[in-house]
Amino acid sequence: MLALNGLDCSAICGGAGLSLDGLRVYAVVPARNEEAYLEATLSSLVRQSLRLSGIIIVDDGSTDGTARVAARYGSVVRLPGHDESYVGRPELAVVFNEGLRRVPDDCDYVLVLGADHVLPPDYLERLISRMIVDDVRVASGYIAGEPYHPEMPRGSGRVYDFKLLKGIGFFPVNWGWESYVLFKFMQMGYAVRCYRDICAGEARRTGRSGRRMYYYGKAMRALGYDFKYAVARALFNRSLSMLRGYLSGDIRVYDDVASFVREWQRRMFWRRVRDVLGL
């Protein structure tokens, strides 16, 4: 029987059901001028059937009532204001890390959630139960209508094995930092999953502006994506901005995972070919 985060699964996976008693789960929620959405998001965390050990809200320089709403639900980390949005940029990793560093060392799992994402009441219970049974270290549920890949958990709503995440130093401050963690865990031999049968609730749709596509192209280059793959993604998304981002010169490549990423892409390509051909 496997051991997880110092817990013997024989003690929590026995009998007719799965007991999650004793697990310490925290949530980290970054927020910038999210007064209109934050209340519903934090209320959904309080209503979770698996009770959270703590909620940490990182107020990223808000000028509205975000901090006031946040203070009613958990600990608030206040960061200096800034003019430009950090969405899609390396600076957003700093915001997340400010919250993650305040999570106690005895935490088992940490949920990372956008300030405009409302979860179903049983989300954490269902997701973490599956993670334990399947020995998965990063996972999310699924929102209908979004792109799906079983090994690509969505960003908001991800649950991480906290000790593993802390062991790699949390998120790197570089383009593609969210995906880097997934590839790093897979490279280390750990499973990651997006569970299509677990509803991840409702979240505000993210835009697909030229700037966002440009940032996505930079992330692909940093992660070591093959050039042919990058071109195919740009064509699929009808985005010249994505290709310009990939070809821009001011990018630090993740040398520790780049070769793994390219090999993973090749495996995924041939798996899809076999599926299409029915082999």
Q: Residue written as tokens 């975000």?
A: 66
C-alpha dist (Å) from residue 142 to 41, 45, 196, 198, 201:
17, 17, 5, 6, 8
Domain residue extents for the chain: 3-203, 210-277
Find, among 130, 99, 241, 132, the residue nearest to 196 by Cα: 130
Tell me the per-residue pLDDT of 43-79, one tens digit each, with 9 for 90 and over.
999 999 999 999 999 999 999 999 999 999 999 999 9
DSSP class of 72? T
CB neighbourhood size of 210 (10 A): 13
Stated as kind and residue range, the H or E segment containing 223 is: helix 210-223
Cα–Cα distance for residue pair 158/155, rounded to 1 Å:
6
Tell me the per-residue pLDDT of 163-220, one tens digit each, with 9 for 90 and over.
999 999 999 999 999 999 999 999 999 999 999 999 999 988 766 788 999 999 999 9
Q: Which amino acid is at 214?
A: Y
Q: Which CATH superfamily is domain 3-203 in?
A: Spore Coat Polysaccharide Biosynthesis Protein SpsA; Chain A (3.90.550.10)
Contact 223, 258 (CB under 8 A): yes
**What percent of the chain stands above pLDDT 90?**
78
Tell me the per-residue pLDDT of 224-265, one tens digit each, with 9 for 90 and over.
999 998 999 999 999 999 999 999 988 999 999 999 999 999
Tell me the longest C-alpha to C-alpha distance in the chain: 57
Cα–Cα distance for residue pair 102/59, rounded to 1 Å:
14
Write b or e for each residue in 225-263: b if 16 or more Cβ atoms lie within 10 A of its Cβ, otherwise e.
bbeebbeebbeeeebebbbebbeeeebebbeebbebbee
* pLDDT, average across residues 95-114: 97
